[in-house]
Structure 1
Amino acid sequence: MGNSPCATEHRGAGSLHQFPMIMERGGSATIRSTKRAVHEGHGFSVGRVASVERRRNQWVLTARDSANEVVGVKASSRRWRATRKRSRVLLSVSLVVLAAVSAACGGGEVAEPTTTTENPYGEALALDPPAPDEVILTVTGPNGTQDYTLGQLVAAATTTVSVDEPFVKQRIEFTGVPLADLFTAAGITDQTNVDTVALNDYAYDAPASVFSDSDAVLAVRQGGGDIPIDQGGPIRIIFPDGTSGSSNLEAWNWSLRRIEAI
């Protein structure tokens, strides 16, 4: 990139959709990142963008305001961990920044924003649906390591629950295995800390009681069929309505691969 104030520099990251969503609202910027909207109302006038970069667990947008002063807005996500740095883009992605840059360079008015609605579960994993005899879950605890195939989990799935799914805002019926049953088989007690790890290495850890007290279910079926990969499949953790886990969105780990006692 050159030194032009209209140049947008992408440092240490991929395409623009990986950055926090930036929208113009009455001359102020709204930063959104990962699963929920955070860091709103920074009072930052969207002007000529100088750079967008990632600094450890933060995205930093640097731009020049109407007075040509360099300003910066940071957006961080507590879903980032020290050892597993990745986030899921779960909200709409706005291209207002590109429109603002174009207007700043051309001297015209900022065009109306063009908004694209993306999958609330993020970019789908490039995976084929698993075969019934394919191992899709590994549980490690005091009793050792147990591998489960999709067929085994479907056969053990005796719990059906209809929940208000918080990410797509729809009522969905899931069938699965109570996590408490898997914990018991692995020798995991309520006091044991467990790490739930997804296929893309997103991890959420908590005492096992956080899951068992909320009747958490390892869902293997959705609406009577397999859970599509692009909807959090093939297996995912869900919580019944009205439990403390139902509002703990960090714990709704989808595309699950491992459960480990730590």
Structure 2
Amino acid sequence: MFAKLTTKIALRKAGIPSSALSLPEYQGSKDPNASPFANVSNPFANLTVPNSLKSWATPPPPPVEIAPAPTLGTRAPGTNKLRLPVEDGRPSIVVFLRHCGCPFAEKTFLDLRRLANKFPRVNFIAVSHSSQKATEKWLSQIGGKWAVTVIVDEEREVYACWGLGLSTTYHLLNPWTQIAARKLGTQEGLWGREVDSSGNRWQIGGSWATDETGVIRWGAVSKTADDIPDLVEACKSLGAY
């Protein structure tokens, strides 16, 4: 009795009604064969999952099999959404973003955009697997795409053709990547943004440079989530510097 009284006083001081810890009344079924949980409501019935958490779920597989990543000296893979060389005959730098909202993807895109305005004779392409709406929202948040061509590949077909599948837990959550994320935030103010449910954090990124004939001259799959490509070296491989 004394313990109950002490509990009620503590709850009152904390501003919590004493009824907060009481269990709902339950009237069992009169049917002796009925389940004891027959009249218990599902506590998770109205639970909604935030969009930001949906980006952690395993996405459906792409519509095509994931191919080996292209290597130096080979021709770039071709799809309906991305064919290299481009019609105007310019060399190209292609960046596959992890997802819209990723701070490392934002850093990579900002580097790509800066170089696109510096070297107009090179075609700069960014591929996003977030939805068209989410991609456009993200681009507006970071100041637009300027001279960069943006391709939306929500089904991740182009990613698969370039050998880009899903990452491992280490690829995404290793301690060095977490340190790099904090460093990018404190030094450059890139902390990442809200991730739309159409994007996925497990998607692997990558970057390549192709010459006027569509042959790979530079690039590779990202080793970890924080692997920001050296796009200056990409430009040098195409003779832009």
TM-score (norm 2): 0.27
Structure that is richer in strand per residue: 1
TM-score (norm 1): 0.25
